């Protein structure tokens, strides 16, 4: 599997797993708990596949950075979490950091 595709799947899986954490109610509800475990399991598996062709630092920065931004947006849409101006600035800085690492760094794959 292509490393970048695996990274995309890892991000989506992590966002799904994290989104289900609140619904799992401390792992007391079986279906949301299953979504959490499956989401994180798939996310880490795909992240490990990603590191075959993408430098681990870059892969993790993209995975965690975009995951953080997407989770904040999901929390806003599903759970009514308020996103104030500073939250948006913080998310923009995360995305900017990921872009700098991705576009300007000369880190080799191996």
What does 19-34 look like in DSSP terms, one character per residue?
Answer: HHHHHHTTTTSHHHHH
Residue 75, φ and ψ in degrees, nearest 5 = -60, -35
Residue 14, domain member (yes or no): yes
Token pair 């599997």: residue: 1
H or E element in which residue 18 lies: helix 3-24
Residue 110, domain member (yes or no): no
Residue 64, domain member (yes or no): yes
Using pLDDT thresholds of 50, 70 and 90, give the confidence band for residue 107.
low
Task: Tell me how many domains the chain contains.
Answer: 1
Residue 8, domain member (yes or no): yes
What predicted TM-score, i.e. pTM, was given to this entire model? 0.87
CA dist., res. 50 & res. 75, Å (int)? 26
Residue 28, domain member (yes or no): yes
Using pLDDT thresholds of 50, 70 and 90, give the confidence band for residue 30.
very high
Task: Give the domain extent around 28.
Answer: 3-104
Residue 45, domain member (yes or no): yes
Q: Is the pLDDT of residue 48 over 90?
A: yes
């Amino acid at each position: 599997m292509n490393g970048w595709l695996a990274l995309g799947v890892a991000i989506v899986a992590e966002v799904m797993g994290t989104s289900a954490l609140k619904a799992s109610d401390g792992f007391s509800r079986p279906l949301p708990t299953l979504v959490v475990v499956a989401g994180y399991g798939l996310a880490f598996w795909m992240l490990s596949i990603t590191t075959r062709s993408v430098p681990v630092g870059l892969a993790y920065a993209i995975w965690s950075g975009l995951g953080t931004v997407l989770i904040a947006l999901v929390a806003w849409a599903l759970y009514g979490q308020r996103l104030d101006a500073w939250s948006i600035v913080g998310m923009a800085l995360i995305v900017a950091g990921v872009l700098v690492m991705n576009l300007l760094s000369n880190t080799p794959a191996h």
